[in-house]
Chains A and B, each alone.
Chain A
């Protein structure tokens, strides 16, 4: 085995897997609580990127303030979807399937709105320098280091908040038994707003991390949303650390598969591994089996 290649693939897998982990937590925290298959999560991802680019280009904001604008946009868009679409539909007793259809529609419409507003061209942020650090033959860029740190700090923060605080426990209660939770006085609307806020912020962070080293495009949000969905299900719905582990596993398996296979076989290996895991543990890696 080529150990240098293994080391480089491990570093790459950790970096990519960290982003997947963040996406898994962001998707999972919404899905586990609301049971909405929130495909419109892509809106927060792409919306953050475009808001940051717009504020840098049009308002002339420097890099970091532009990122803040992007995060605010992600939060506003995510919450707006809940308030303007999902909540009224629930009030009218819409089923999860009909809400999913609307979410699907939003996820299709939003990239086209972005294209109408900004055109199909790539949009980029003024990027800070991105030097590369070497450890033997293994290299890692400053952006990669930042990605690792940001993703895991945020994941830990969200998991700790939900596990340790009173409001966080009300999120768990709503996930476990919404009717009972409301019966004991938990404000379900507030909990739902919270999970959309947190989930959208995390998706926004992922979108900004991507744009900071690449470009924003109208269709950039859908693939990461699906990745987040896979990570959340692989790790276990309802467990922040499970979703994070699922994402990390996706990144590492995909990267390590390049030890022996052409890179374009990576998705086959990933889905094969996911199939096996879910066959053995249908509740996911860290999920709890239904009673």
Chain B
């Protein structure tokens, strides 16, 4: 085989055929390596990295430390001072969902800094990037976190990657929390605990009960969702609950790919089915595009979603003011004293109010701190994840950013049987892009009257 190059044209514009000389390949590889280096600068390339250097504890003042000790108890030996736990975070640091990785990692970093300042544990965060939900990458990165970084704790995110690493979590006894993409496939798995309500499934009955109450003539429901999260809600729970509540039917049940921006075909099909209400399990920016395009197509019926993010609100613009959603929504204006410490700290460190996902991953670090305190109080080894999980199972109640009032933090409760969590949920409306609660809802058991989900 002749690898030598044929002569090029005068300006080198006549390309030879695609035979690859060794030198040419090396040149290309070198150039590719250069730009790939730039690519890696953007937020991780699948390798893990420690975020310890990013935590600026100088921005956490002594007032914060005192406030946290008032809520959680003293630091020092009792508070785990001197105990170091290495924690991995499996997040979307690059790709379409990189916003979520950013806010989740910020939440955990802030928590680590505040706990340290309160003379508590050293929570050493190692961040891994699953590239916005890529399952093979998630498996590789988790193995790296386990073998190279020796993590004991894992804060994971997204549905599909978290379901894929369930065996790794169990085999390595990683005490793990997911506050981003809780799904039925992660329920009742060893060492894996959900810190948000199951996406779609838990708030769905309450959201539909609210529609049935506010729009008593609504009988025809259209459902829009994906194959990633809220699948049971879209295919089973939603249709069954709607029939129970209204005696009505589901006239359209549409699925789209995650990350879709063009909903014109779905909008056309929904219009054609003339629904009285729409329930969507879409998430991320997708729900913003969906709502915007539905309203632009003069579809004016009520839309009930399962999630709110400011990013999606930015996509939808003014049309989001016609959107309602049912979820365990985090409110940065909650006067709960711990929440105020969190909000102030977030503003000091990152220059903005926290949002839902940041709050969940911040809270998880404090759950770990609380578990360390309990294990220490019992004379156990706070770096033994089996001991930490046993402490959780023995007392599944924790202080929370959710709920509470100006005098005390709220509380949340894990279910030791299925490892899910119970948090305050509500139905929210959006006004000028900002959500506000209009009704309280609760999780109901299978077979319960769905109208009872609306408090």
Given contacts A95-B19, A179-B14, contact A219 B28 (CB under 8 A): no
Q: Which of B24, B102, B255, B268 contacts A120 (CB 8 A)?
A: B102
Q: Within 8 Å of chain A (Cβ to Cβ): is B271?
A: yes
A255 touches B314 (CB 8 A): no
Q: Which of A9, A90, A104, A137 contacts B265 (CB 8 A)?
A: A9
**Nearest opposing residue in chain B for A190, CB measure:** B11
Collect the chain A residues with CB atoms within 8 Å of residue B390's CB. Answer: none
B8 touches A90 (CB 8 A): yes
> Other than the known A12-B267, A97-B25, A98-B28, what 20 A-B pairs have Cβ atoms closer than 8 Å?
A4-B272, A5-B272, A16-B262, A93-B24, A94-B28, A95-B15, A97-B24, A97-B28, A98-B20, A105-B34, A109-B36, A112-B41, A120-B43, A124-B315, A179-B14, A182-B11, A188-B10, A218-B98, A263-B256, A266-B265
Q: Which of A116, A139, A182 contacts B41 (CB 8 A)?
A: A116
Collect the chain B residues with CB atoms within 8 Å of residue A170's CB. Answer: none
**A156-212 CB contacts (< 8 Å) to partner B:** 174, 178-179, 182-183, 188-189, 192, 210
Q: Which of B18, B265, B298 contacts A139 (CB 8 A)?
A: B298
Interface centre among A130, A188, A258, A263 (most CB of B within 10 A): A263
Chain A nearest Cβ from B141, distance in angstroms: 17
Q: Within 8 Å of chain A (Cβ to Cβ): is B347?
A: no
Q: Within 8 Å of chain A (Cβ to Cβ): is B149?
A: no
Chain A nearest Cβ from B269, distance in angstroms: 6
In the bound assembly, the distance between CA atoms of A238 and B82 in angstroms comes to 69
B13 touches A5 (CB 8 A): no
Given contacts A115-B94, A179-B9, A262-B254, contact A102 B268 (CB under 8 A): no
Q: Within 8 Å of chain A (Cβ to Cβ): is B167?
A: no
For the residues of B in contact with A, the DSSP-based class is helix
Given contacts A112-B38, A116-B42, A174-B13, contact A255 B264 (CB under 8 A): yes
A12 touches B265 (CB 8 A): yes
Interface centre among B40, B43, B272, B315 (most CB of A within 10 A): B272
Q: Within 8 Å of chain B (Cβ to Cβ): is A8?
A: yes
Given contacts A130-B296, A192-B13, contact A258 B265 (CB under 8 A): yes
Collect the chain A residues with CB atoms within 8 Å of residue B170's CB. Answer: none
In the bound assembly, the distance between CA atoms of A169 and B373 in angstroms comes to 78
In the bound assembly, the distance between CA atoms of A8 and B12 in angstroms comes to 50
**B168-208 CB contacts (< 8 Å) to partner A:** none
Question: How many A residues touch B, CB cutoff 8 Å?
Answer: 70
Collect the chain A residues with CB atoms within 8 Å of residue B15's CB. Answer: 35, 90, 95-96, 178
Q: Within 8 Å of chain B (Cβ to Cβ): is A288?
A: no
* Interface 1/0 per residue, A75-108 and B, CB below 8 Å: 0000000000100011111111111011011101
B35 touches A108 (CB 8 A): yes
**Nearest opposing residue in chain A for B226, CB measure:** A264
B32 touches A115 (CB 8 A): no
**B78-104 CB contacts (< 8 Å) to partner A:** 94-96, 98-99, 101-102
**B1-59 CB contacts (< 8 Å) to partner A:** 5, 8-16, 18-21, 24-25, 27-29, 31-36, 38-43
Given contacts A108-B36, A255-B265, contact A115 B43 (CB under 8 A): yes
Question: How many B residues touch A, CB cutoff 8 Å?
Answer: 63
Q: Within 8 Å of chain A (Cβ to Cβ): is B266?
A: yes
Q: Within 8 Å of chain A (Cβ to Cβ): is B285?
A: yes
Q: Within 8 Å of chain A (Cβ to Cβ): is B261?
A: yes
Collect the chain A residues with CB atoms within 8 Å of residue B298's CB. Answer: 132, 134, 139
A9 touches B268 (CB 8 A): yes
Given contacts A5-B272, A127-B317, contact A217 B255 (CB under 8 A): no
- A and B contact pairs by CB, cutoff 8 A, 18 listed: A12-B265, A16-B262, A89-B31, A90-B15, A96-B18, A98-B25, A108-B39, A112-B41, A112-B94, A113-B41, A113-B42, A120-B101, A121-B99, A137-B271, A218-B42, A218-B98, A262-B254, A267-B257
Interface centre among B20, B262, B292 (most CB of A within 10 A): B262
Q: Within 8 Å of chain A (Cβ to Cβ): is B289?
A: yes
Q: Within 8 Å of chain B (Cβ to Cβ): is A215?
A: yes
Chain B nearest Cβ from A161, distance in angstroms: 21
A178 touches B27 (CB 8 A): no
Q: Which of B12, B42, B43, B264 contacts A91 (CB 8 A)?
A: B12
Collect the chain A residues with CB atoms within 8 Å of residue B33's CB. Answer: 105
A139 touches B297 (CB 8 A): yes
Q: Within 8 Å of chain A (Cβ to Cβ): is B227?
A: yes
**Nearest opposing residue in chain B for A105, CB measure:** B35
A8 touches B271 (CB 8 A): yes
Collect the chain B residues with CB atoms within 8 Å of residue A215's CB. Answer: 285, 311, 314-315
Collect the chain A residues with CB atoms within 8 Å of residue B289's CB. Answer: 214
**Nearest opposing residue in chain B for A267, CB measure:** B257
A115 touches B311 (CB 8 A): no
Chain B nearest Cβ from A141, distance in angstroms: 5
B39 touches A109 (CB 8 A): yes
Collect the chain A residues with CB atoms within 8 Å of residue B271's CB. Answer: 5, 8, 137
A264 touches B227 (CB 8 A): yes
* Interface 1/0 per residue, A243-275 and B, CB below 8 Å: 000000000001101100011101100000000
In the bound assembly, the distance between CA atoms of A16 and B263 in angstroms comes to 10
In the bound assembly, the distance between CA atoms of A122 and B259 in angstroms comes to 13
Q: Which of A13, A102, A192, A254 contacts B32 (CB 8 A)?
A: A102
A109 touches B35 (CB 8 A): yes
Chain B nearest Cβ from A138, distance in angstroms: 9
Given contacts A105-B34, A112-B43, A263-B266, contact A89 B297 (CB under 8 A): no
B311 touches A121 (CB 8 A): yes
Collect the chain B residues with CB atoms within 8 Å of residue A130's CB. Answer: 296
**Nearest opposing residue in chain B for A134, CB measure:** B298
A95 touches B8 (CB 8 A): no
Chain B nearest Cβ from A194, distance in angstroms: 13
